[in-house]
Structure 1
Amino acid sequence: MSDNPELLVGIEFAGTGAHPASWRRDDSRAEEIFTGGYWADLVGAADRAGADLAFLPDTFGETAAQGAVRGRLEAVGVAARLSAVTSRIGLIPTATVTHTEPFHVAKAIQSLDHTTRGRAGWQVAVSGGLEQAELFGRKAAQDEASLWSEADEATEVAQRLWDSWDDDAEIRDVATGRFVDREKLHYIDFAGEHFSVKGPSITPRSPQGRPPIAVSVDGERSLAFAAARADVVRISAPDVRAAAALADEVRTRAGERRPAVLLDVDVLLASENAVAAVDLARLDEWSGSEYRSNSVLHHGDPESLVNLLTELRGIDGVVLRPLALASTLELLTTRVIPALRPAPRPATTVRDLLGLTRPRSRYATTH
Structure 2
Amino acid sequence: MSTAPTGRGPLHLSAAIDLPDVYDAPPYAELALLAEHGALDFVTLGDSFARAGLDALGVAARIAPGTGRIGLVPTVTTTHTEPFHVQAALATLDWVSRGRAGWAVDVSATEAEAKLFGRRHAAPREELWHEAGEVADVARRLWDSWEDDAEIRDAPTGRFIDRDKLHYVDFAGRFFSVRGPSIVPRPPQGHPVVVVDATAPQARETAARYADVVLVRAASAERADAARAELRGLAARFGRDPRTLRVLAALVVDLGGGECAAEPGHGGGPLPTAEGPSYRGGPVDLADLIADWHRAGAVDGFHLTPVEPRRDLERLVNGTVALLQHRGLFRTFYPGSTLREHLGLARPANRYAALVEETSLVEETSLVGEPS
Aligned-residue offset at 1:198:
1.1
Q: CA 1:193–1:101 in structure 2 vs 1: closer, same or farther (change >3 Å)?
A: same
Aligned-residue offset at 1:276:
8.5
State how far apart, in whole Å, the 2-side matches of 1:14 and 1:272 are: 21
Q: Who is 2:250 aligned against?
A: 264
Contact 1:267-1:299 at 8 Å conserved across structures? yes
Bigger relative contact order (CA 8 A; separation at least 6): 1
State how far apart, in whole Å, the 1-side matches of 2:272 and 2:250 are: 15
Q: Who is 2:96 aligned against?
A: 115
- 1:335 is the counterpart of 2:280: no
State how far apart, in whole Å, the 1-side matches of 2:28 and 2:262 are: 24
Contact 1:235-1:262 at 8 Å conserved across structures? yes
Q: CA 1:194–1:5 in structure 2 vs 1: closer, same or farther (change >3 Å)?
A: closer
Instruction: Indicate which of 299, 303, 308 corresponds to 1:315.
Output: 299
Aligned-residue offset at 1:100:
0.3
Contact 2:272-2:278 at 8 Å conserved across structures? no
Contact 2:334-2:342 at 8 Å conserved across structures? no
Q: Secondary structure at the match of 1:122?
A: strand
Residue identity matched to 2:122: A
Q: Who is 2:367 aligned against?
A: none
Contact 1:51-1:344 at 8 Å conserved across structures? no
Contact 1:266-1:293 at 8 Å conserved across structures? no
State how far apart, in whole Å, the 2-side matches of 1:60 and 1:137 are: 13
Could you list the per-position Cα deviations for residues 31-75 of structure 1 after superposition, in whole angstroms to 9, with x for gaps in the alignment?
A: xx110011011111111221111111111113xxxxxxxx32111
Aligned-residue offset at 1:194:
1.1
Contact 2:17-2:44 at 8 Å conserved across structures? yes
State how far apart, in whole Å, the 2-side matches of 1:5 and 1:163 are: 29
Could you list the per-position Cα deviations for residues 277-318 of structure 1 after superposition, in whole angstroms to 9, with x for gaps in the alignment?
A: 7xxxxxxxxxxxx99245331111111111111111320000
Summarize the alignment of residues 21-170 of structure 1 with structure 2, pairs less than 5 Å apart: 33-62=22-51, 71-170=52-151
Instruction: Indicate which of 15, 27, 35 corresponds to 1:11.
Output: 15
Aligned-residue offset at 1:273:
5.9
Aligned-residue offset at 1:355:
2.4
- 1:199 is the counterpart of 2:183: no
State how far apart, in whole Å, the 2-side matches of 1:101 and 1:168 are: 27
Q: Who is 1:244 aligned against?
A: 225
Residue identity matched to 1:338: A
Residue identity matched to 1:261: V
Contact 2:259-2:284 at 8 Å conserved across structures? no
Aligned-residue offset at 1:129:
1.4
Residue identity matched to 1:57: G
Contact 1:124-1:214 at 8 Å conserved across structures? yes
How many residue pairs get aligned? The number is: 330
Q: Who is 1:326 aligned against?
A: 310
Aligned-residue offset at 1:275:
9.8
Instruction: Indicate which of 190, 208, 217 corresponds to 2:198.
Output: 217
Q: Secondary structure at the match of 1:84?
A: helix
What residue ranges of structure 1 are gaps of 5+ in the alignment? 17-29, 63-70, 278-289
Q: CA 1:203–1:192 in structure 2 vs 1: closer, same or farther (change >3 Å)?
A: same
Contact 1:269-1:328 at 8 Å conserved across structures? yes
What is the TM-score when the length of structure 2 is the normalising length? 0.84
State how far apart, in whole Å, the 1-side matches of 2:324 and 2:66 are: 24
State how far apart, in whole Å, the 2-side matches of 1:257 and 1:204 are: 29
State how far apart, in whole Å, the 1-side matches of 2:220 and 2:46 are: 23
Aligned-residue offset at 1:207:
0.9
Contact 1:208-1:358 at 8 Å conserved across structures? yes
State how far apart, in whole Å, the 2-side matches of 1:123 and 1:114 are: 18
Q: Who is 2:337 aligned against?
A: 348
- Percent of pairs with identical residues: 42
Aligned-residue offset at 1:6:
2.1
What is the TM-score when the length of structure 1 is the normalising length? 0.85
State how far apart, in whole Å, the 2-side matches of 1:12 and 1:352 are: 20
Residue identity matched to 1:321: T
